[in-house]
A and B are shown apart, each in its own frame.
Chain A
Amino acid sequence: MKRLIIFAFCWLACSAWGEAEVQLNKVEVATDLPTLARGAETVMTVCNGCHSLKYIHFRELAKLGVEKDKVDGWRGSNPMGTAIASQMPADAAAASFGKAPPDLSLMAKAREGEANYIYSYLLGYYTAPDGTTGNHYYPPTKMPDVLAVAGVTDPAQLAELNKKAREVTSFLVWAADPHAQERKSLGLYVLGYLLVFTTMMYFLKGRIWATLEKV
């Protein structure tokens, strides 16, 4: 039995290995507030129909610069400090899609490939010869082609979709780690301090060891 379990793990591992071979498209994640706010808007109007963002509160959307009346429209009578639930109850969503749509707050960190995965996945929809819609990057997906990507050939329209997908990806990257910018800017000071400290220790060490007589 245990051998069987191990074998099953290995088999699953191998199949995952095969899947990981799909090359993801690279995306340059934006960190400027206007892009994040536009991404937030798309997420709230498109994704939030089914997906929750339970670690993000309406107040934080307002802080990103999303217009106040839009935030008020989404939150309804809920206070600003309310966590963002999905507009469709989880069991209703599970009933119509076959499984509950995952929470999006950590999505940008919860998949191999992170931002590149989300970007590729959103733009990965295609129309199969039999008329059904599929996704190159996650074939078993139950999510419909929400950005209406499949079948689009017009370059201007494609550019628009790429921009939108990049905004959504950037917003989700922010949502997964809201302190990232603060962390990086603090990190520069910390490293700067450590460089000065270590350099001083290096020269001080030289001076102290110079007091030893040579062997």
Chain B
Amino acid sequence: MASRIIGWIDQRFPLTHIVKHELTDYPTPRNLSYWWNFGFLAGFVLVLQIATGIFLAMYYKPDVNMAFDSVQHIMRDVNYGWLLRYIHSTGASAFFVVIYVHMARTLYYASYHKPRELMWWTGQVLMLMIMATAFMGYLLPWGQMSYWGAQVITNLFGVTPFMGDKIVMWLRGDFSVGDATLTRFFSLHYLIPFLIFAVVGIHLVALHTVKSSNPSGISLADKDNIPFHPYFTIKDLFGLGVYLIIFCTFVFFFPGTFIEAANNIPANPLMTPPHIEPEWYFLPFYAILRSIPDMLGGVVAMGLSVVIFAILPFADRTNIPGGARHRPVYRAVFFVFIADVFLLGYVGSQPPSGALVPIGQVATLIYFATFFLLPPTSKLEERWMRARGLSPQLMALFDQRPPREKMSHKGGAV
């Protein structure tokens, strides 16, 4: 009976074909490490955020006089409302942890190289959309930090030449953050996740066209690819279990970690909180904003620091596959960059005073230098590596490459 139904569908819609091609038989490199679990995890977090968000929206009221109270209503009176809300608020932070690790893995293995440029760029678009969603969602509880964070960030658009004030007013729908801002942020906070879902679809279509990258950095021969199911379904499920243990520890035992104390005070436009600080996932960018003494320059630098990742497929000019796995200079730069991002995050979390100001400026310089110096350093690194002679292991990798990608074993231009 079941097979007859499936047969009926298959005559009209490629159900079996899709399941076979994209899931059960989908060829996946067998040497993927656990760092390759984070794409699946990001998808899981997205679905969890949308699911909890839909239920929260059934009780939440986007109105300046009711928003704060409605969140407390959810926390206190709605059955398991506290659970939904804590999953959602912790999930926002978890989302950034997962996508930052996902990006760091791509950087480490330089997976953004041909033919995966579109994977990288659609990923960048997803990151921007997630940031916008998180920023707008943070206004909804209508606490002090919600209000003043939105006030400060929307204010940044005021540096736009000639029409800064008009843009700020257009974003807020009012002269300052108010009811009009809250209702539009709520509307967009509900809309964008579904657009994210669609872009994830594009990201996945691109992935299934070029297939997964792998730690070696080259396309593996067919014998080294194994079907996604059951090998990677079970691996992803195990990864999901580990992820959920950490996530649920926060949700059930430390749910206040990601909620600022000041955000438990209702928004008060007449009282500025002593220290306005964005959520942790924006801190490195916020530190870059503050490191530039000029406001316009700071906003441009902050915007650039987020989108600059997109130049990597062009900026990294090496022919050596595998990223940091085979390239000592690239590996060193990668770890310096990660440390620099953490340093910027710390600087962003502190009031800008004393030695932290120059430290933040040097860290900003290192951040941008990483990208702008990559074209010459990646070239020089390749020349240096070839002068020293490539390891037999690396030679073997080149031998496996398709002919047009293959480079001379003796060195010199490709």
Contact = CB atoms under 8 A, between A and B. Distances in A.
Indicate whether A and B interact. Answer: yes
Contacts of B351: 10, 13-14, 16-17
Interface in A183-215: 183-184, 186-188, 190-191, 194-195, 197-198, 201-202, 204-205, 208-209, 212, 215
Interface of B: 30, 72, 75-76, 82-83, 86, 152, 155, 158-159, 224, 226, 230-231, 234-235, 237-238, 241-242, 244-245, 248-249, 251-253, 255-256, 259, 261-262, 264-265, 272, 274-276, 295, 350-353
A28 interface: no
A197 B238 CA distance: 8
A114 B82 contact: no
A203 B245 CA distance: 17
27 contacts: A2-B158, A10-B352, A10-B353, A12-B272, A13-B351, A15-B274, A16-B275, A17-B350, A102-B265, A106-B72, A109-B259, A178-B76, A183-B82, A183-B83, A183-B255, A186-B83, A190-B252, A191-B245, A194-B241, A194-B245, A198-B238, A198-B241, A198-B242, A201-B237, A205-B234, A208-B231, A215-B224
Contact of A184 (B159, B253, B265, B272): B253
A179 B82 contact: yes
Contacts of A2: 155, 158-159, 295
Contacts of A105: 72
Interface of A: 2-3, 5-6, 8-10, 12-17, 19, 55, 102, 105-106, 109-112, 114, 176-179, 183-184, 186-188, 190-191, 194-195, 197-198, 201-202, 204-205, 208-209, 212, 215
Contact of B245 (A19, A195, A205, A209): A195
A194 to B, nearest CB: 5
A212 B82 contact: no
A109 B275 contact: no
Contacts of B251: 187
Contacts of B274: 12-13, 15-16, 19
Give 9 nearest A-B pairs by CB, closest first: A187-B252, A198-B241, A16-B274, A13-B351, A110-B264, A201-B238, A109-B264, A13-B275, A205-B234
Contacts of A205: 234-235, 237-238
B86 to A, nearest CB: 8
Given A6-B295, A198-B242, A110 B265 contact: yes
Nearest to A5: B155
Contacts of A17: 275, 350-351, 353
Given A2-B295, A176-B264, A188-B252, 9 more contacts: A9-B272, A10-B352, A14-B353, A110-B262, A183-B252, A186-B252, A205-B235, A212-B226, A215-B30
Nearest to B298: A6
Contacts of B256: 109, 114
B90 to A, nearest CB: 12
Most chain B Cβ neighbours within 10 Å, of A8, A17, A198: A198
Contact of B253 (A109, A187, A204): A187
Contacts of A197: 241
Nearest to A3: B295
Contact of B30 (A179, A195, A204, A212): A212
Contact of B244 (A5, A109, A187, A194): A194
A194 B237 CA distance: 11
A194 B238 contact: no
A188 B295 CA distance: 49
A58 to B, nearest CB: 15
Contacts of A191: 245, 248-249, 252
Contact of B231 (A12, A195, A212): A212
Given A9-B152, A184-B252, A212-B231, A111 B275 contact: no
Nearest to B239: A201
Nearest to B260: A112
A201 B234 contact: yes
A85 to B, nearest CB: 14
Contacts of A109: 256, 259, 261, 264
Contacts of B353: 10, 14, 17
